[in-house]
């Protein structure tokens, strides 16, 4: 006769065993184990559960069942952080080895795999507190699970961090490339597309992903479609470098197309814009993975480890890079109508916040960031509207950064861009010119130099202004004082 454990009633009530591959817990009484079987009665398993929300299920053998907790963010790495542990129903012992796909619509629907397994020693096991010492391949050492006043449970790591584990680098400012031409000998270089979007560092940990712009602003909520990348990362701790890109109908990255996503704050507008202007996180560097900082490792090694993560999803990708043959790569980018390419020295380390000659940006079109210092009114069809922006860049003047006038840009605007610019510029009006030295025309309206825009142009004139400039869009990820004239 099959022996049924009364503690499994809740487990069985939640499942229809004709529709789920999970064990019912109605197994026959197991044969008596040999006295030498050290695992008897003290086994544990951790299962990675890709349900509606990714989480990890911790199950420990106790009194003939598996006492279970769901860990939405996995195990804490240090004693400094407690993480949520949701106490769930007891599971049958057969669940120690269970892996499979629970059908959608069934309780716990989703793929479940064994993430770790081993044995444990119980130092304390009461109704509201459990202290265990784990001996598994991934989970080892002492942890406490305890119930809080509001009936939630938390899991706490009692041991110090693992020896030799590097701390996660925080507040990383992305490494930048220097405007240049192709390197003379390209055997030691790798080549990537220059993605025309918004730079973002991604901090990934179990169950959570955070996106941070290059001016250290948290932009996670602006791009919710990238959030599910956390599921693809699983239990890994990573720091990634990449670009948030909006593609046009021909598959080309478009900074102008990205504009509506960059300046939206309300949740309802973000949801709407997500549908009509989806964004992809293009990942091109791996800076940290599972306790190891890769900042000091060569670019080619970082790329190899990044590709080994096999990250691919509806809103994220890891495009391949090309070793050598930069001239052909640049020509192919020009044929596709792309902005240009980036050459990266294969042996180069990652240097946060530095514009390094180890990374070179080679452009098919001339383009750079500019600071908006004012505007002039429109004429003709644009009468009553903004006619042209007055732009400049910062240059060193006796040790002080001063804004130099670089001309005006009066093309590249559509109605949406003009409306956004007026909304942003009106509150910044000022009576004094922000420019040092050469000044714009007398009917100019000046503003505090806080806004940064992208401008495409044909060349610099001898007097230091842009020839044939065209407005490409506003940037909100770079301080105005960091905008300098790029020479290359």
Q: How many CB atoms sit inside 10 A of residue 353's CB? A: 12
User: Does residue 139 lie within any of the structural domains?
Assistant: yes
Pairing mode of beta strands 386-397, 366-377: antiparallel
| CA dihedral for 456, 458, 459, 460, sign (positive or negative) | negative
Q: What was the pLDDT predicted at 34?
A: 40
19 is catalytic: no
Residue 325, domain extent: 176-363
Q: How far apart are CA 46 and CA 168, in angstroms?
A: 24
Please state the domain count of the chain: 3
My answer on whether 301 and 442 are in the same domain is no
If asked whether residues 48 and 194 sit together in one domain, one would say no
Per-residue model confidence (pLDDT) at position 35:
38
| Euclidean distance between CA atoms 387 and 407, whole angstroms | 13
Sheet holding 340-345, edge to edge: 176-179, 355-363, 340-345, 189-193, 322-323
Please spell the DSSP secondary structure of 280-309, one letter per residue: EEEEEEEEEETTEE-TTS-HHHHHHHHHHT
Query: Which two structure tokens, joined as six digits, stand for 418?
Result: 């003009």
Residue 1 lies in a domain: no
Same-domain pairing of 201 and 308:
yes
Give a yes or no: residue 487 inside a domain. Answer: no
Judge if 329 and 450 occupy the same domain.
no
Domain boundary among 157, 189, 218: 157
Query: Do 218 and 124 reside in the same domain of the chain?
Result: no
The structure tokens listed for 214 are 């290059």
User: In this predicted structure, what is the pLDDT of residue 453?
Assistant: 95
DSSP-derived 3-state class of residue 421 = helix
Q: Are residues 262 and 404 in the same domain?
A: no
**pLDDT at residue 104, rounded to an integer:** 94
**Distance from C-alpha of 427 to C-alpha of 10, rounded to nearest angstrom:** 61
**Gyration radius from the chain CA atoms:** 29
In this structure, the answer to whether residues 223 and 151 fall within a common structural domain is no
We report the CATH number of the domain holding residue 391 as 2.40.50.140
Reported residue count of the chain is: 488
Domain-ending residue, one of 313, 344, 363: 363
- The enclosing H or E element of 331 equals helix 326-335
Which position among 14, 194, 408, 424 bears the catalytic label?
194
Which parts of the chain register pLDDT below 50?
A: 1-3, 28, 30-39
**By CB neighbour count within 10 A (0-12 exposed, 13-18 middle, 19+ buried), where does 441 fall?**
exposed
pLDDT digits (tens, 9 = 90+) for 122-159: 999 999 999 999 999 999 999 999 999 877 899 999 99
In this structure, the answer to whether residues 417 and 466 fall within a common structural domain is: yes
Give, in order, the Cα–Cα distances in Å from 433 to each of 306, 375, 402, 405, 438: 48, 11, 12, 10, 11
Return the CATH number at 293.
3.30.470.30
Q: Is 55 within 8 Å of 72 (Cβ atoms)? A: yes
What are the DSSP calls for 132-169, one per residue? EEEEESS-EEEEEEEE-TTS-EEEEE-SPPPTTPPPPP
Categorise residue 364: left if φ over 0, alpha if ψ from -120 to 50, beta otherwise: alpha
Same domain (yes/no): 70, 142? yes
- Please say which residue of 103, 126, 157 terminates a domain: 157
Measured CA to CA in angstroms, residue 382 lies from 322, 386, 428 at distances of 46, 7, 21
Q: Which residue has the tokens 């195990």?
A: 75
In terms of domains, do 430 and 451 share one?
yes
In a domain, 163, yes or no: no
Q: Is the residue at 171 inside a domain?
A: no
Model pTM score = 0.84
CA distance 285 to 298: 11
The answer to the question of residue 164 being in a domain is no
Angle at the Cα of 231 (from 226 to 234), degrees rounded to 5?
A: 130
Token reading at 396: 């060193």
Looking at residue 232, what is its pLDDT? Answer: 95
**Rounded-to-integer distance, Cα 242 and Cα 282, Å:** 5
Provide the pLDDT for residue 127.
92
CB atoms within 10 A of CB 248: 11
- What is the CB-side half-sphere exposure of residue 420 using CA atoms within 13 A? 18
In a domain, 165, yes or no: no
Q: Are residues 400 and 294 in the same domain?
A: no
Residue 72 maps to a domain: yes
Residues 14 and 141 in one domain: yes
How buried is 153 (Cβ within 10 angstroms: 0-12 exposed, 13-18 middle, 19+ buried)? buried
């Amino acid at each position: 006769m099959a022996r049924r454990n009364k503690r499994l009633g809740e487990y069985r009530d939640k499942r229809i065993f004709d529709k789920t591959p999970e064990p019912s817990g109605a197994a026959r009484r197991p044969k008596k184990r040999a006295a030498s079987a050290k695992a008897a009665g003290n086994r544990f398993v951790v299962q990675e559960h890709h349900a509606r929300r990714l989480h990890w299920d911790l199950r420990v053998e106790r009194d003939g069942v598996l006492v279970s907790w769901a860990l939405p963010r996995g195990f804490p790495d240090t004693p400094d952080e407690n993480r949520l542990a949701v106490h769930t129903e007891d599971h049958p012992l057969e669940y120690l080895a269970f892996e499979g796909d629970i059908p959608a619509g069934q309780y716990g629907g989703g793929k479940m795999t064994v993430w770790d397994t081993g044995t444990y020693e119980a130092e304390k096991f009461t109704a509201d507190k459990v202290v265990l010492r784990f001996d598994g391949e991934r989970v080892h050492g002492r942890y406490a699970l305890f119930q809080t006043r509001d009936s939630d449970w938390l899991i706490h790591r009692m041991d110090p961090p693992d020896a030799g584990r590097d701390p996660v680098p925080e507040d990383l400012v992305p490494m930048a490339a220097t405007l240049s031409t192709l390197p003379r000998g390209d055997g030691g270089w790798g080549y990537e597309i220059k993605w025309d979007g918004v730079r973002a560092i991604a901090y990934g940990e179990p169950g959570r992903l955070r996106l941070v712009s290059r001016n250290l602003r948290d932009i996670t909520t602006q791009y919710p479609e990238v959030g599910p990348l956390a599921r693809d990362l699983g239990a890994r701790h990573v720091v990634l470098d990449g670009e948030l890109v909006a593609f046009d109908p021909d598959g080309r990255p478009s900074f102008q197309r990205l504009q509506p996503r960059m300046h939206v704050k309300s949740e309802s507008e973000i949801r709407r814009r997500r549908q009509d202007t989806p964004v992809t996180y293009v990942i091109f560097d791996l800076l940290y993975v599972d306790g190891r900082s890769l900042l000091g490792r060569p670019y080619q090694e970082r790329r190899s480890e990044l590709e080994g993560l096999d990250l691919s999803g509806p809103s994220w990708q890891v495009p391949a890079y090309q070793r050598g043959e930069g001239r052909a790569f640049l020509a192919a980018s020009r044929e596709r109508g792309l902005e240009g390419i980036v050459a990266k020295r294969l042996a180069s380390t990652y240097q946060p916040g530095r514009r390094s000659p180890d990374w070179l940006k080679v452009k098919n079109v001339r383009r750079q960031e500019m600071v908006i210092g004012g505007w002039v009114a429109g004429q003709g069809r644009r009468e009553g509207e903004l006619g042209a922006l007055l732009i400049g860049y910062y240059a060193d003047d006796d040790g002080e950064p001063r804004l130099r006038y670089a001309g005006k840009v009066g093309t590249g605007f559509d109605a949406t861009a003009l409306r956004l610019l007026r909304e942003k510029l009106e509150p910044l009006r000022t009576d004094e010119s922000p420019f040092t030295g050469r000044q714009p025309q007398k009917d100019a309206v000046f503003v505090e130099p806080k806004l940064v825009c992208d401008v495409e142009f044909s060349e610099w004139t001898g007097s230091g202004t842009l020839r044939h400039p065209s407005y490409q869009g506003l940037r909100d990820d770079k301080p105005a004082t960091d905008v300098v004239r790029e020479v290359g």
